[in-house]
Structure 1
Amino acid sequence: MKTSRRDLTAGWRFLGSNIALRSIMWRRKTVPMLFRDRVKQHPHKTMFVTPEREWTFQDVEDYTSKIANYFLQRDLRAGDNVALVMENRADVVFVWLALSKIGVATAVVNYNLRQSPLLHCISVVNTKAIIFTPQMAPHIMEITASIKDKREARFFIYGESEMYPQFPGENILANLDSMPSELPSYRGSLDDNLLYIFTSGTTGMPKAAVIKHLRYIFCGIMIHHMMPLKSSDRMYHYLPLYHIAGGVLGTSQSVLFGLSGAMAPKFSASTFWEDCIKYQCTVTQYIGEICRYLYNQAPKVTDNQHSIRLMFGNGLRPQLWMDFKNRFRIENLRELYGSTEGNANIINIDGTVGSVGFVPTICRVSPFLASFIYNLNIIKIDPESGTPERNKRGLCVRVRPNEPGELVASIDKKPQCRFDGYTDSSATTRKIYRNVFRKGDECFASGDILVFNNDGYLFFKDRTGDTFRWKGENVSTTEVEDVISKYADLSDSVVYGVEIPGLEGKAGMAALLDPAQVVDVNKLLECLRKELPAYAVPLFIRIAEKLEATGTFKLPKMKLMREGFDIKSFEDPVYFLDQSEGVYVRFDQNLLEKLVNKELRV
């Protein structure tokens, strides 16, 4: 009885979402076809408001058809891939939506990436063309020769580029006026690739997760029905469009369901609520850091003069939850859990503080029934190896209430249970556990540690593997280690995340094997900034006298993580990235106390 209302509400919404999805599948409606339905329904309704202009649904339909016809004339065809390197703006949606009309998939590349990571993301997808803005041209110029060495790709500039007139790229916008606005005849399939969204994963360079039309539609439907959202809602968009949160969960509400939205080029804590008021928004998204940044702003009258009734996202700390909700008068906070590529997706529909979702009571009572209606489970994990514990039959072991374990999701042909993986087949294989609950079955390995309480509510605890989350971004330790090794000429380096009291996520810390202490940490900092986005540059550098490998030649990351930046527990010198000076400084007891007391900006 305690959880019946929650379970019945979720069941009803889930049923509605499945009916909507099955209807789309039966009618074989792809993303551009569903968008066309919205255009016919309300052509003059505002789709996006940008700082430059207001776009109606008809405006976007005509404009994207022109772009589609432009690329048809440049010999792009169904099944081709392109890479899009563009700062946060509505045109990101326009470009990939246009290309989807001719069956071309778009790899949306993080515009913060530079050099090696940027080259990797462009190269890992078999790109036939690279589309970029004048602002991104200098960074594309740096890797042009390397791109040409790897593949034959054409370059297209989205706008005038006076600084780089010699660049071998065609200006898209200069040729659009002559393009027809009639819709291309290509129909496509729900199983066609729509987008590639890059995720850090647990090791190595970013991996390109495959987002098919069906996956995009499923994500949009679940958000729309489970929150739920209304056709009259107006969304405030500011999260990066190269992430699944902003680029899929957010934009799908306009593309698929006809909601109006306001597009901001970036997040600004000082103008966030003013923007929501200005654009009369009723719904927006968050990541945990965003909520903290907003809460740390000095109180203003605009804090509760907005019309935001719903915020959804992930990473809001339980300690901040109610204070944030009360101060800004947010009626509904909807914490969710999911991953770019995975099929493990859950939503907290009733606002239980700290929860990312729940396991329905019937699924906990009967695992047999759960296998038909719920694809999520939590299994025991060996804390040292990070691999599943198995019983005498070689099968995984489910955890009990209040016992942490890794969230896994059964893989089958149902839309909510599909796992399309990455462009890299070996990376896809590494994310699948086999023989989990019965011989021959498969589960998606989330890499995340969760726990559920006696009422079935799920709570996020930590990540397995080597990826940690900082400032709302996933940081691959292997990627940072590769850059350090490239420039520091050190025999060993270890990168890991460390917790800072009162802050979400984990800050980056690198331990460098340098017994003679000859490394210049600030010269290293200059090199790191060239190749890494700001959030991936380590906040701490530890100059280690020794790093003893284990019997399997693995460096002692667990021990280093436990020690963190507690300089009283070891003798190695530590350097801290001073945000005000922009350089590494020696981390001493005084700085340690300031950091713990939240007197330092990080």
Structure 2
Amino acid sequence: MIAWVLTTAAAGLLALVVFQIIVYPYFWDDLIYHLTLRKIQLMTTLRMKNGVITFLDCFVDQARKIPKKPFIVFEDQVLTYQYVDRRSNKVGQVFRTVGRVKKGDTVALLMSNEPDFICVWFGLCKLGCEVAFLNFNLKSKSLLHCIETCGAKILVVGSDLVSSLAEVLNTLQDNGIDLWVVDSNTSYQGMTTLLDKTETASDEPPPVDRSPQTDITSTFLFIFTSGTTGLPKAARDRVYLSLPLYHMSASLLGIGGCIELGATCVLKNKFSASQFWKDCQRHDVTVFQYVGELCRYLVNQPKVAEESAHRVRIAVGSGLRTDVWREFSRRFGKVRVRESYGLTEANVGFLNYTREVGPIGRAGFFNKRRLPFELLKYDPVTYEPVRNDAGHCVQANKGETGILVAPVTAMNPFLGYAGNKTLSEKKLLRGVFKEGDVYFNTGDLMLQDYRDFLYFRDRIGDTFRWKGENVATTEVSEILGSVEFLQEVNVYGVSVPGYEGRAGMAAVVLKPDQTLDGKKLYSHLVENLPAYSWPRFLRVQSCLDVTETFKQQKGRLVQEGFSPLHVQEPLYFLEASEKTYIPLTESIYDSIVTGQIRL
């Protein structure tokens, strides 16, 4: 009898396991990830009860616990947690006594990647200041706009960037902006030097005005937005960080992640694909952070011995295209990719904690309870959510692309954009599923498949319409990127006289010693893409324009279009009758715009 019961129980357990594997194959992955996040949440709650509430509190707490632990490794410098803590105290003391900076003041920071970026940032935070990170590529009007938007009355600039202010220096001074340079001396009139004064300043924490009371919603940092990533939990990690610190991925998630873990950050002034694996081996790196096309640069580099003689375990970031991901995994297989998605301005995000190539995360039962979101059907022309007869939005089906939205609640707020209430309101959807509800519109198009994996499809604005159909630039780029002779691809839409919507165009970079094979490319398109999404025009470049965070730039390409008179680089036209791409001459261009050649 006992043997029968045990056999029956074992058979039932086996059947249950088989059922789970078939019906819910990622159940344990989902559950373990959920429990890990719950553990982190409980630890954070306990820490807050002990008075460690803010980002700065966490850093000061780590400096007390692990004072001699290396915090920042930069070139040949090694800065411990204690050193950065004390140096930031000195910075705070100087701004308090010399600059008369006080709690609540907004200070703009224009610096390249260097240790003093962090020391100045933390020093100002210790005074209770609101710090605004500025993109060091900004010029004249854009720079002035950002400073005005955040309301800064003080600008701190790195010594290597002072010359970039030449055109706006007088305007800044006329506007009453107090100018500081992170240097010991300067030839510019009206600028106050910082480093000479920190040498004699006290390294004791600067006194801070404790009133009015700061709460959890008080402004801590202004960031001019872009995408985000996350960092894994592993206290012995050495995290390689080559992204610009003005970007949230690098500052709050890169530096902040290291502080949270008590880890070491190997900081680079800028990314170098040729030096990457050498740096990883030299500094014993275990984790690196990527954004956009960074991983593509690595797979396009010639093989070096260091790429297989390092301790890197994890690559974590966002914006990794599936075709690059597959090649990256094939070549650097022991490095696990943790692709993620997030936004600077909203509390919605995903992490792919499985080994599935391509998704940004999962929408399983546990994840949706922790961080609710929805995908909405949208109008393919206006990209506005579709509403039913009752005036409410309609959920997208599984396998269907929809707009990602997240509910705005007390626990999941949207605080808006500094200085622009109109733009803030435009990001909100009201009456989505019932009267009175409010959702944040990410402006991103996502797809949830039947296994509950989530895929980033495109950003509204990048997607374009042609022949009455939506063309997702990300999808087309991935397909083209798998062609053997193409190294990089940037897909966008261009206006053609006499046609609705925009025709597809691709800026491409050929692999070394490769030529454009129009017939092979045409065959590849026929096999993998519907005709409406084929790029009608090609622009062959020596390199692609990207931002400091390796996101492809399309604006100038869209504006220049496909005219041989405006584009000096080789242009090609898809000649369907010949099943190939042919050089786009002025004669062919004229025939297209006059309607003699139909697309």
Structure 1 length-normalised TM: 0.74
Q: Verify: 1:434 aligned to 2:430, yes or no.
A: yes
Secondary structure of the structure 2 residue equivalent to 1:232: coil
Match of 1:456 among 452, 459, 473: 452
Match of 1:552 in 2: none
Higher relative contact order, structure no. (Cα contacts within 8 Å, ≥ 6 residues apart): 1
How do 1:316-331 residues align onto structure 2 when only pairs under 5 Å count? Answer: 316-331=320-335
- The answer to which of 275-284 and 248-257 deviates more is 248-257
Match of 2:95 among 60, 65, 71: 71
Question: Partners in 2 of 1:421 and 1:17 — Cα distance?
Answer: 27
* Contact 2:572 2:582 (8 Å CA) reproduced: no
Match of 2:406 among 404, 409, 418: 409
Q: Any idea what the Cα deviations from partners look like across 1:284-343, whole Å, max 9, x if unmatched?
A: 111231111100011121111111101101111212223212312334210000111122
Match of 1:270 among 246, 263, 274: 274
Assess, with a 3 A threshold, how the Cα gap between structure 1 residues 426 and 505 changes in structure 2: closer, same or farther. Answer: farther
Question: Partners in 1 of 2:119 and 2:446 — Cα distance?
Answer: 37
Structure 2's unaligned 5+ residue stretches are 1-19, 465-471, 482-486, 498-546, 575-579, 585-599
Secondary structure of the structure 2 residue equivalent to 1:127: coil
Question: Partners in 1 of 2:56 and 2:583 — Cα distance?
Answer: 50
Secondary structure of the structure 1 residue equivalent to 2:265: strand
Question: Partners in 1 of 2:565 and 2:50 — Cα distance?
Answer: 61
Assess, with a 3 A threshold, how the Cα gap between structure 1 residues 390 and 24 changes in structure 2: closer, same or farther. Answer: farther
AA aligned opposite 2:218: D
Match of 1:211 in 2: none
- The answer to which of 303-312 and 502-511 deviates more is 502-511
In the TM superposition, residue 278 of structure 1 has moved relative to its aligned partner by 0.6
Question: Partners in 2 of 1:56 and 1:467 — Cα distance?
Answer: 46
Question: Partners in 1 of 2:113 and 2:67 — Cα distance?
Answer: 25
Q: Any idea what the Cα deviations from partners look like across 1:437-458, whole Å, max 9, x if unmatched?
A: 2211111111100001111100
Assess, with a 3 A threshold, how the Cα gap between structure 1 residues 177 and 189 changes in structure 2: closer, same or farther. Answer: farther
Match of 1:140 in 2: 165
In the TM superposition, residue 249 of structure 1 has moved relative to its aligned partner by 1.0
Q: Verify: 1:44 aligned to 2:68, yes or no.
A: yes
Match of 2:113 among 84, 88, 102: 88
AA aligned opposite 1:267: F
Match of 1:5 in 2: 28
How do 1:512-591 residues align onto structure 2 when only pairs under 5 Å count? Answer: 536=553, 538=555, 540=557, 573=564, 575-576=566-567, 584-585=568-569, 587-589=571-573
AA aligned opposite 2:428: I
Assess, with a 3 A threshold, how the Cα gap between structure 1 residues 105 and 441 changes in structure 2: closer, same or farther. Answer: same
Match of 2:205 among 173, 176, 183: 183
Question: Partners in 2 of 1:280 and 1:419 — Cα distance?
Answer: 39
Assess, with a 3 A threshold, how the Cα gap between structure 1 residues 19 and 362 changes in structure 2: closer, same or farther. Answer: closer
How do 1:140-179 residues align onto structure 2 when only pairs under 5 Å count? Answer: 140-149=165-174, 151-160=175-184, 162=186, 165-179=187-201
* Contact 2:235 2:263 (8 Å CA) reproduced: yes
Match of 1:130 among 150, 155, 159: 155
Q: Report which of the two structures shows the higher radius of gyration computed on alpha carbons.
A: 2
Assess, with a 3 A threshold, how the Cα gap between structure 1 residues 79 and 92 changes in structure 2: closer, same or farther. Answer: same
- The answer to which of 272-281 and 16-25 deviates more is 16-25
Match of 2:381 in 1: 384
Q: Any idea what the Cα deviations from partners look like across 1:384-423, whole Å, max 9, x if unmatched?
A: 0111111122111111110000111111122xx2222210
AA aligned opposite 2:224: F
Structure 2 length-normalised TM: 0.75
Secondary structure of the structure 2 residue equivalent to 1:419: coil
How do 1:146-545 residues align onto structure 2 when only pairs under 5 Å count? Answer: 146-149=171-174, 151-160=175-184, 162=186, 165-186=187-208, 188-199=214-225, 223-224=230-231, 227=232, 229-361=233-365, 370=368, 373-414=370-411, 417-423=412-418, 424-465=420-461, 501-502=480-481, 506=490, 536=553, 538=555, 540=557
Secondary structure of the structure 1 residue equivalent to 2:293: helix
* Contact 1:541 1:574 (8 Å CA) reproduced: no
In the TM superposition, residue 269 of structure 1 has moved relative to its aligned partner by 0.6
Q: Verify: 1:111 aligned to 2:136, yes or no.
A: yes
Question: Partners in 2 of 1:594 and 1:3 — Cα distance?
Answer: 48
Question: Partners in 1 of 2:284 and 2:583 — Cα distance?
Answer: 38
AA aligned opposite 1:117: S
Question: Partners in 1 of 2:573 and 2:301 — Cα distance?
Answer: 28
Secondary structure of the structure 2 residue equivalent to 1:142: coil
Q: In angstroms, what is the RMSD of aligned CA positions?
A: 3.0
AA aligned opposite 2:201: M
- The answer to which of 380-389 and 8-17 deviates more is 8-17
Question: Partners in 1 of 2:460 and 2:558 — Cα distance?
Answer: 22
In the TM superposition, residue 129 of structure 1 has moved relative to its aligned partner by 0.4
Q: Any idea what the Cα deviations from partners look like across 1:28-49, whole Å, max 9, x if unmatched?
A: 4222221111011111110011
Question: Partners in 2 of 1:12 and 1:65 — Cα distance?
Answer: 38
In the TM superposition, residue 254 of structure 1 has moved relative to its aligned partner by 2.4
* Contact 2:458 2:473 (8 Å CA) reproduced: no
Q: Any idea what the Cα deviations from partners look like across 1:487-509, whole Å, max 9, x if unmatched?
A: xxxxxxxxx98965327784677
* Contact 2:571 2:583 (8 Å CA) reproduced: no
* Contact 2:226 2:344 (8 Å CA) reproduced: no
Residues matched between the structures, number: 484
Question: Partners in 2 of 1:456 and 1:467 — Cα distance?
Answer: 23
Structure 1's unaligned 5+ residue stretches are 202-218, 364-369, 469-495, 514-531, 544-564, 577-583, 597-602
In the TM superposition, residue 586 of structure 1 has moved relative to its aligned partner by 6.1
Assess, with a 3 A threshold, how the Cα gap between structure 1 residues 505 and 9 changes in structure 2: closer, same or farther. Answer: farther
Q: Verify: 1:98 aligned to 2:95, yes or no.
A: no
Q: Verify: 1:17 aligned to 2:40, yes or no.
A: yes
AA aligned opposite 2:285: C
Assess, with a 3 A threshold, how the Cα gap between structure 1 residues 539 and 53 changes in structure 2: closer, same or farther. Answer: same
Question: Partners in 2 of 1:65 and 1:98 — Cα distance?
Answer: 6
AA aligned opposite 2:424: T
Question: Partners in 1 of 2:278 and 2:148 — Cα distance?
Answer: 40
AA aligned opposite 1:258: G
Q: Any idea what the Cα deviations from partners look like across 1:19-64, whole Å, max 9, x if unmatched?
A: 1332344344222221111011111110011114110011001000
Assess, with a 3 A threshold, how the Cα gap between structure 1 residues 466 and 589 changes in structure 2: closer, same or farther. Answer: closer
Question: Partners in 2 of 1:110 and 1:595 — Cα distance?
Answer: 39
AA aligned opposite 1:75: R
